[in-house]
């Protein structure tokens, strides 16, 4: 076989393996989300309830939260500053997040108020936690 044919076969194989890994990862994310969603909604603390988890393409996991006592407008800059360091720290060091880190999963944390009005969505990419 010529060099070009070998190169095409190697690239095609790499793409197939990559797509297979991505499909397997999406399947695993969906399985984990379904397990967690069976237990939701669940009160996490005096202010926060997790409503569920959603899997989105490409390779994105969305955690959906409600702030159960918030009904007025929230200062999103303050909200971001208060939560961002803890979110990033948790993703970087948590054993539960290890597979997400390994698969370069995008993680979103969606917050809404008591009346289901969106407050803020944190979008964390591999560049943020690597």
Q: Model's pTM, two decimal places?
A: 0.81
pLDDT of residue 121: 98
How buried is 59 (Cβ within 10 angstroms: 0-12 exposed, 13-18 middle, 19+ buried)?
middle
List the chain domain ranges: 3-129
Fold observed for domain 3-129: GMP Synthetase; Chain A, domain 3 (3.30.300)
pLDDT tens digits, one per residue of 49-64 = 999 999 998 899 999 9
pLDDT tens column, 62-105: 999 999 999 999 999 999 999 999 999 999 999 989 989 999 99
Percent of the chain with pLDDT over 90: 70
What's the CA gap between 100 and 107, in Å, rounded?
Answer: 8
């Amino acid at each position: 076989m010529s060099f070009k044919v070998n190169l095409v076969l190697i690239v095609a194989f790499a793409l197939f393996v990559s797509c297979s890994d991505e499909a397997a990862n999406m399947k695993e994310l969906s399985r984990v989300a379904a397990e967690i969603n069976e237990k939701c909604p669940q009160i996490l603390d005096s202010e926060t309830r997790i409503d569920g988890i959603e899997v989105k393409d490409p390779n994105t996991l969305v955690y959906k939260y409600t702030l159960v006592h918030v009904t007025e407008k929230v200062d999103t800059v303050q909200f971001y500053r208060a939560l961002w360091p803890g979110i990033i720290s948790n993703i970087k060091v948590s054993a539960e997040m290890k597979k997400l880190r390994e698969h370069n999963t995008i993680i979103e944390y969606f917050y809404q108020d008591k009346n289901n009005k969106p407050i803020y969505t944190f979008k964390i990419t591999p560049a943020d936690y690597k």
